[in-house]
Structure 1
């Protein structure tokens, strides 16, 4: 069974290139499509007190910066990137919805192997909610 659409979940760090390399390496012999997704933090959900800051404008600027970074990663990939998506909110919910909407059949994501990831791991949440196969790439600190 070959994969037809590979979604790469990127955190926009330099280590994201390792995930892109893995996805492209898998996609080339299969002729699979590759898409990128980055889920930004939803700042409005994190802070519920008073703050003198335009949350909508801050969120918009963060999403524009993320799109610019995804475009740079698309150039780095040297492979056609079908979709470059930026969202905000809960990573596992957003990714699950996107998988269905874009007919993704493999998700590539990284897992930092450090102290904090033993306590707080977004990858573990993805594993528990993903309806498709996942390739989890270890990222050693």
Structure 2
């Protein structure tokens, strides 16, 4: 299958570079586009919509240090990033509409192999709500 638009779910750690590398490799191989998404779930859903920080730089619902870290992911790659969505709350609740509205056909996310991830799996929530293929990369 040829993926035309890959969405990468990022967290604020350098582990996200593994996901970016995988997405860029696939996009270069298939001639596809890449977008990023990050959700800050630490304060609940204080902002209902996702903001594309590639086009809307005024009303970003995240702290400046989070935005600075996310911008390093844009700088990390030499591949063009189509959109960079950020928001608050639970990604799985906003995922379906974001994927459909942006013609995404592959979602890439990471899964940590640690104690907490064996108890609470965020990947499971994404799998249950995603209308497209998902690549879950072990981190």
Q: Which residue of 1 aligns with 2:96?
A: 96
**C-alpha contact (below 8 Å) 1:34/1:82 kept by paired residues:** yes
Q: Deviations over 1:78-103 (max 9, x none)?
A: 10000111011121012222111111
Q: Which residue of 1 aligns with 2:9?
A: 9
| Structure number with larger C-alpha Rg | 1
Q: Deviations over 1:5-58 (max 9, x none)?
A: 000000121100000000001000211000000011262559xxxxxxxxxxxx
Q: Which runs of 5+ in 2 are unaligned?
A: 47-59
Alignment of 1:1-141 (within 5 A): 1-41=1-41, 43=43, 60-62=61-63, 64-139=64-139
Structure 1 residues 92 and 61, CA gap change in structure 2 (3 angstroms): closer
Q: Paired residues, what number? A: 126
Q: Which runs of 5+ in 1 are unaligned?
A: 47-58
TM-score (norm 2): 0.83
Structure 1 residues 70 and 61, CA gap change in structure 2 (3 angstroms): closer
TM-score (norm 1): 0.82
How many angstroms apart in 1 are the aligned matches of 2:98 and 2:91? 10
How many angstroms apart in 2 are the aligned matches of 1:44 and 1:18? 27
